Amino acid sequence: MQDSQIIRTEYSEVMKKSYIDYAMSVIIARALPDVRDGLKPVQRRTLYDMHELGIRYDKPYRKCARIVGDTMGKYHPHGDSSIYEALVVMAQEFKKGMILVDGHGNFGSIEGDGAAAMRYTEARLAKLTQDAYLADLDKDIIDFVPNFDETEKEPAVLPVRIPNLLVNGAEGIAVGMATSIPTHNLCEVIDAVKAYMKNDEISTKQLMKYIKGPDFPTGGIVVNKDDLLSIYESGTGKIKIRGKVDVEEMKGGKKRLVISEIPYTMIGAGIGKFLNDVCALVETKKTSDIVDISNMSSKEGIRIVIELKRGADALNLTNMLYKKTRLEDTFGVNMLAVADGKPETMGLKKIIEHHVDFQFELATRKYKTLLKKEQDKKEIQEGLIKACDVIDLIIEILRGSQSVKDAKACLVTGKTENIKFKSGISKKMAAMLRFTERQAQAILDMRLYKLIGLEIEALMKEHEETLSNIARYEDILNNYDSMADVIIADLDRIKKEYGRKRRTVVENGEEAVYEEKKIQEQEIVFLMDRFGYAKTIDVAAYERNKEAADSENKYILSCMNTGKLCIFTNTGKMHQIKVLDLPYGKFRDKGLPVDNVSNYDSTKEQIVYLCDSEQLRFAKLFFATKQGMIKKVEGTEFQVSKRTIAATKLSEDDEVVSVGVTADNLQVVLQSKDGYFLRFSAAEVPEKKKGAVGVRGIRLKKKDELECVHLFCEGAEYKTNYGGRELVLSRLKEAKRDGTGTKPRG
């Protein structure tokens, strides 16, 4: 048994190395596409597996479960869900510029519906994929590498003939980096590649004469055309996209907005969120011009209809949708891909440069393989032609031979010792034969019908064709222009067969300017019942129902409809509500829970004071807590823009008991739970900041706590109920702050 050796290593170094290895594995082997074929490993493996299974575009569909299982078992040892998701995305027309998989069954929808389970769906390769992604795999044009368990061979890259990275784009999140490449129009990209091949000094600006900008499968409008040049030069930036909105006339002079194209970023749950956002605009009274919204989208395309009131400003409403919803959105571009084994952010020209280099590499390997095959054919053809001229001698050699070995030796080296000839002349002629090994084998394998005149003629014609092919292939391999012509011809063929018109409009759109209707300022009455349901009503409606309103509601407050309300809670927080967020209507309307329009949580907090924010401008607020701490705070400290702030600082297990407007000429009476009352002048309460705890107002006995605070004018009679009887607080003896107080006699 060998002695074990302990290797001491710095722990941080081990962790660092392990994490870097993991990160690079995710970057290279999972999340980022290769710049050459524009595919992630899972996509490449899935397409190759379909090719190997023979699921071609002209063959019947096969179950996706079969494809996923085979891919996972042979090439991609990760979760089946990741393989199936990749397969589904390659079949979704609304996500890819050109679909690579022809799906049969439920492959999801643009509105976010997921695909059916893989056991139900079927798929096969799309014609483009077969034609431009997987062609010529038998011609040794790419390298094959061992799979994860070295039982199979898989392609290191697919021989893709078009710049798939641009045509289909890419999205992926790796470790510490992410890629986001928009889709482009196939015809425009091919034209740009041809332009680069004719002039490799071409600038990005000149390339953009061919590639106008992104071409999203969902259409839409790119509105920042001037920013595209810097985006395509650097490989990073932000593209602004809008949905397409048309105005349609209806009966009775009404209009409706019809959204027929959406931003690419709205695919999926974004459509549902857009519909909710439009409803929210109506509910919050941002607009009153929208009567109805309906989603009429189908397999034929997107159709979202927004019906408007008669006389509504359609243009202003369209701009409102752009400003307030995701109908105008931003697509973040980060053209990151794996180039030469390393992740790299590339501009448009760099991506095309890598693609063209890859095409020349593919073409070189392809035509070297074809040239080798033609040269082999030439050798055999020349041998057969030569054999036809001396066929009688060859037959004599074969008849006089004892074995195939002797006959072959005679044909190749002229060795005649073991062969019987009819004459010495034949023997001399046989000794002069010098066929190659391959030619000799072809002669031995030749059938007699090949000696027919027409067959010999066909052989001569085939030989001429072979010589022509050899000359052509040698010209392609030795001449840059000839190889470029072949690549361009292939691109033209693909463009003619698969090209389609651009769907996304690229322009310099004007900034969406939405003019909000000015709300007519008016005084209203805020009502909130004991269950926390709040609403606002007209002052006249309140006056008509004053008695019922006063008896049914816990809080009643007069305020302006453009103002804010402040809710002070026992937890020491202040929540603000915009009055406009509250429902305005009839007296008998139910209202809305305050929790719905503010950060106030009725399950965890209790309201101790509610007021109009304008009331705080000239007021001072008096705070008192359960542990007897008190202070005065300038009201302007609470006039803030935030929805929630800390109104006061509290000690542990303390809470706010009372908040109220105070002044120096008022009297304060603090009432404890055990029945102690302390009266003193409000002038004794120090003014503090809202972030301060305050000072002690009353000395509490053990387990006692402050229960109530009474504020009243000096000289006025102020009564309260205590212990089932009436108590006149204004008759209590005035003391100093921080006393123990007195307990009224029973």
Catalytically active residues are 120
- Residue 253 exposed, middle or buried by CB count within 10 Å (0-12, 13-18, 19+): exposed
Cβ proximity of 482 and 475 under 8 Å: yes
CA–CA distance, 127 with 406 (Å, rounded to integer): 53
Q: b/e for 454-487, b at 16 or more Cβ within 10 A?
A: eebeeeeeebeebeebbebbeebbeeeebbbebb
CA–CA distance, 111 with 225 (Å, rounded to integer): 28
Half-sphere exposure of 160 (CA within 13 A, CB side): 25
Cα–Cα distance list, 357 to 137, 205, 363, 487, 492 (Å): 18, 21, 10, 11, 18
Cβ proximity of 334 and 178 under 8 Å: yes
Cβ proximity of 296 and 289 under 8 Å: no
Cβ proximity of 706 and 626 under 8 Å: yes
CA–CA distance, 459 with 381 (Å, rounded to integer): 7
- List alpha helices for 27-167, DSSP H: 41-52, 64-74, 80-89, 127-132, 164-167
DSSP run (H or E) holding 19 = helix 11-26
Instruction: Please give the structure tokens belonging to residue 213.
Output: 């900008």
- Residue 711 exposed, middle or buried by CB count within 10 Å (0-12, 13-18, 19+): middle
What distance lies between CA 579 and its chain's CA centroid?
Answer: 37
CA–CA distance, 688 with 629 (Å, rounded to integer): 12
- Residue 424 exposed, middle or buried by CB count within 10 Å (0-12, 13-18, 19+): exposed
Cβ proximity of 397 and 413 under 8 Å: no
CA–CA distance, 455 with 449 (Å, rounded to integer): 8
- Residue 9 exposed, middle or buried by CB count within 10 Å (0-12, 13-18, 19+): exposed
